[in-house]
């Protein structure tokens, strides 16, 4: 057992959490709860009570995804000397146990090829739409995604790894100082990926490792020169998303290409939600608040 999986919970779907429980039998599993209700905590305790490799850490309040993950990794460092790797997980990701083995074996194979690997990540597929998230990369001034086929077996060099399923050496996480806690939730993975690259590390997507994952809180379809599927996020999530986009734009190690396309995406997001979302007034209010606070801090 040389892998520690860290899952942050906040009012979790217990069925999805039970799936993670079953698939992480051979890993140390650290659950960091971010202020869920008493009955929810009791359900988590009942789930893990008979397994010695499961540990629950309780935060009384929601301290954000970044801080909760850092707390989980710090606990591992202090208490488990033999752990070499950490796997960062969202509470709403589901996967087969083979996916973890595939991530680890590809990571070690890349290292054997003398690659300075920062982290690897799985192919994420939205559980509702069955659309895959893809792997981001930059080329010729464009911020693009590649969507590997189900038959693809080779690791894909990329520029960004989505947070859930991030697999890395514990030593690298510690070397770079963990996740940026002031971001709270959105763009943690973006900032972390670019910080790794700035430190000389490489990122790879592993197509054979497949995670079912929820893109946003839900999704909705709308027609704009064809049918589009867009992640549905609350006004509060858009506050964090817009605020953190501005924060990242101000950081020197974030590539100009990402900054340019992030600004374009912000404008598109604002237009889509104002045109197609029933909460358009609250959405715009929180988006603009995020922009203001991102600029002022």
Residue 132, SS3 per DSSP:
strand
Domain ranges of the chain: 3-213, 218-296
Q: Do the Cβ atoms of 217 and 232 come closer than 8 Å?
A: yes
Residue 120 neighbours by CB distance under 10 Å: 25
In this model, does residue 123 exceed pLDDT 70?
A: yes
Model pTM? 0.92
Position 133 scores a pLDDT of: 85
Distance between CA atoms of 258 and 247, rounded to whole angstroms?
Answer: 13
Give the dihedral sign, CA 218/221/225/226: positive
What span, in angstroms and rounded, lies between the C-alpha atoms of 107 and 214?
25
How do residues 214-267 score in pLDDT, each as one tens digit? 765 666 555 555 556 667 789 999 999 999 999 999 999 999 999 999 999 999
- pLDDT, position 150: 80
Res. 96 pLDDT band, cuts 50 70 90: confident
3-state helix, strand, coil in the chain (%, to 5): 40, 25, 30
Q: What is the CATH number of domain 3-213?
A: 3.90.550.10
Decide: helix, strand or coil at residue 58: strand
């Amino acid at each position: 057992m040389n892998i520690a999986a860290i899952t942050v919970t906040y009012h979790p779907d217990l069925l999805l959490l039970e799936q993670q429980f079953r698939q992480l039998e051979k890993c140390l599993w650290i659950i960091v709860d971010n202020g869920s209700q008493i009955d929810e905590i009791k359900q988590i305790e009942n789930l893990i009570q008979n397994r010695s490799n499961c540990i629950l850490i309780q935060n009384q309040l929601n301290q954000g995804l970044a801080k909760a993950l850092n707390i989980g990794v710090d606990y591992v460092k202090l208490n488990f000397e033999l752990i070499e790797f950490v796997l960062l997980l969202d509470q709403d990701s589901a996967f087969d146990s083979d996916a973890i083995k595939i991530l680890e074996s590809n990571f070690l194979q890349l290292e054997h090829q003398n690659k300075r690997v920062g982290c690897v990540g799985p192919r994420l597929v939205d559980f509702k739409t069955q659309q895959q998230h893809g792997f981001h990369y930059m080329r010729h001034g464009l911020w693009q995604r590649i969507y590997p086929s189900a038959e693809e077996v080779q690791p894909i060099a990329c520029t960004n790894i989505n947070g859930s399923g991030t697999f890395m050496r514990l030593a690298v996480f510690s070397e770079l100082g963990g996740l940026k806690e002031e971001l709270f939730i959105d763009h943690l993975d973006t900032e972390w990926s670019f910080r790794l690259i700035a430190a000389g590390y490489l990122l790879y997507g592993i197509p054979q490792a497949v995670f079912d994952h929820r893109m946003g809180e839900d999704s909705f379809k709308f027609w704009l020169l064809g049918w589009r599927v867009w992640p549905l996020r609350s006004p509060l999530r858009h506050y964090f998303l817009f605020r953190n986009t501005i924060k990242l734009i101000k950081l020197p190690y974030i590539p100009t290409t990402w900054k340019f396309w992030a600004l374009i995406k912000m404008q598109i997001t604002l237009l889509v939600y104002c045109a197609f979302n029933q909460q358009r007034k609250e959405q715009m209010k929180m988006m603009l608040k995020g922009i203001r606070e991102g600029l002022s801090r």
